[in-house]
Amino acid sequence: MKKLNQPLILIMLLSINPGYGQKALTLEKSQQLALQHNHAIENSRLELKAAQQTRKAALTKYFPAVSAGGVLFEAQDPLMEITTQGGNLPVYDGNPLNLLRPSLFAYMPGATMGLLKSGTIGMVNVVQPVFAGGRIVNGNRLASLGVAVNERKGRMTHAEVLQKTEEQYWLVVSLEEKTKTIQKYESLLSSLRNQIEDAWKSGLVTKNDVLKVKLKQNEIQLNRSKLENGKKLAKMAFCQYIGIPYDSTLVMQDSLLIRDVPQTIYVDAQAAVQRRNEYQLLQASVQAATLQKRMKVGEYLPQVGVGVVGMYMKFDQGEDRTIGMAFATAAIPLSGWWEASHTVQEHRLKEQMAKNDLQDRTELLLLQIEKAWQDLNDAYRQVRLCEEAKIQAEENLKVNQDSYDHGVCSVSDLLEAQALQQQAMDQLTDAKTGYLLKKTVYLNATGR
């Protein structure tokens, strides 16, 4: 038995399966790729890590502050000098009474002695804050809030990437559907051209009817060229966004299928707005303003701390010494109270502004949810209307085709019916794409 060579087998496989070698992507897989390669997602992760480091840094403020220092000096002249005057000193002969009226003396010359010409000093200081006006506690709360804020921002970026991916995915799918529609239209025109040319040769129609079909074919070819270029650009943009190389054979596996009605995903707007990341960020802004006000108040409260210090000293040729000391500190910023009356009031006003923003933007979020719901319902009604229009266009084409076959209607009427069918199919494709996108917008608007 002879063995077939590999190139021949490959050619046979390709002829059996035209889709061989094509890369297929689902919407879910596309979104996973976008999340893995999108730079905005990566930056949101880095921002979260930075906020976590800030929180860890704030936590260290609870622990004692340790500092160490030292001085090593060598002076040109002694820093201190002790001078003693010269004179006669009584000589002690063993009898204490003779010191009152000495008769023997010894001369002691004057002298000058230098001190602190060289020395070494080392010190370790440990201070434990006892009360800092609440700034340490509130600083840690503010840092933890920063982590929560960056987590919310990360979720918003996550949702934006998913929505953008879905928009580009359905755009490519819709263009592929329109390509199928125009191919079907081309097939109808090709069949009609064959019929009309045979009829012209038989003298049943005029040359003008043949020209009308040819002109329509040229028009469709031009439209198809534009459609192919648009589809290529859409695929290139899609591949760039999800982080994969451009592939002209890329196929989208999901279809424009409407599986549900808007009522199945409806939720109450008041309940949904509290799930929105934007609402959570607005609440965090109010909390941040409150904490910043408390920290500013803490700057004008007494600061209390305790600590210990250890010192090592050695001067000149003397022996070294090590000493330790415990201490307590208290500081009251008396001169800052006048300033505090204004700066604290400033932060209170900013806190009230944050509360006002929360109320105002919450109302805007509710309006956004309501608009997304109305748009979703409008998009669903548009799908239903386009489905009815497609059925009517198909029926109209069938009637005109039968009429043309029986010589009742003209070529122009048949061409118009075919054009109406293509237009109805394209409109249905656009309506389905619009509904799926509006559905995503509504789900995001309601915090899902």
**Residue 124: partners with Cβ closer than 8 Å, 6 or more residues away:** 66, 67, 68, 309, 310
pLDDT given for residue 369 in this prediction: 94
**Residue 211: partners with Cβ closer than 8 Å, 6 or more residues away:** none
Least confidently predicted of 96-105, 281-290, 331-340, 400-409: 96-105
Cα 348 from chain centroid?
Answer: 30
pLDDT given for residue 337 in this prediction: 77
pLDDT band at 111 (very low <50, low <70, confident <90, very high): low
Cα separation of 67 and 305, whole Å? 15
- Domain boundary assignment for the chain: 22-71+118-445
DSSP classification of residue 262: G
Least confidently predicted of 36-45, 204-213, 333-342, 438-447: 333-342
Higher pLDDT: 233 or 334? It is 233
**Residue 65: partners with Cβ closer than 8 Å, 6 or more residues away:** 126, 127, 128, 129
Q: Which amino acid is at 284?
A: A
The answer on pLDDT for 105 being more than 80 is no
Asked if 371 contacts 310 with a C-beta cutoff of 8 angstroms, the reply is no
CA angle 145, 151, 155 (to 5 degrees): 145
Asked if 345 contacts 400 with a C-beta cutoff of 8 angstroms, the reply is no
pTM of the model: 0.74
**252 strand-pairing partners:** 25
pLDDT given for residue 280 in this prediction: 92
For the chain, what is the radius of gyration of the CA atoms? 45
Q: Highest mean pLDDT range out of 35-39, 162-166, 208-212?
A: 162-166
pLDDT band at 17 (very low <50, low <70, confident <90, very high): very low
**108 strand-pairing partners:** 87
**Residue 346: partners with Cβ closer than 8 Å, 6 or more residues away:** none
Cα separation of 39 and 42, whole Å? 5
Cα separation of 115 and 259, whole Å? 97
pLDDT band at 173 (very low <50, low <70, confident <90, very high): very high
Least confidently predicted of 102-116, 147-161, 210-224: 102-116
Asked if 64 contacts 127 with a C-beta cutoff of 8 angstroms, the reply is yes
Best CATH choice for the domain 22-71+118-445 from the list 1.20.1600.10, 3.40.50.2300, 1.20.810.10, 1.10.10.370: 1.20.1600.10
pLDDT given for residue 320 in this prediction: 85
Least confidently predicted of 46-50, 197-201, 444-448: 197-201
The answer on pLDDT for 237 being more than 90 is yes
The answer on pLDDT for 84 being more than 80 is no
Question: E strands along 135-203, which residues?
Answer: none
Mean pLDDT of the chain: 86
Least confidently predicted of 91-100, 114-123, 238-247, 328-337: 91-100
Cα separation of 235 and 229, whole Å? 10
The answer on pLDDT for 13 being more than 70 is no
pLDDT band at 2 (very low <50, low <70, confident <90, very high): very low
Cα separation of 125 and 130, whole Å? 16
**Tens-place pLDDT, residues 243-302:** 899 988 889 998 888 888 999 999 999 989 998 999 999 999 999 999 999 988 888 888
Placement of tokens 């029926």 in the chain: 395
pLDDT given for residue 114 in this prediction: 67
DSSP run (H or E) holding 266 = none
**Tens-place pLDDT, residues 38-63:** 888 888 899 999 999 999 999 988 88
Q: What does the pLDDT average to over 379-384?
A: 95
pLDDT given for residue 340 in this prediction: 79
| Pairing of the two strands 251-252 and 303-315 | unpaired
Higher pLDDT: 80 or 383? It is 383
pLDDT band at 15 (very low <50, low <70, confident <90, very high): very low
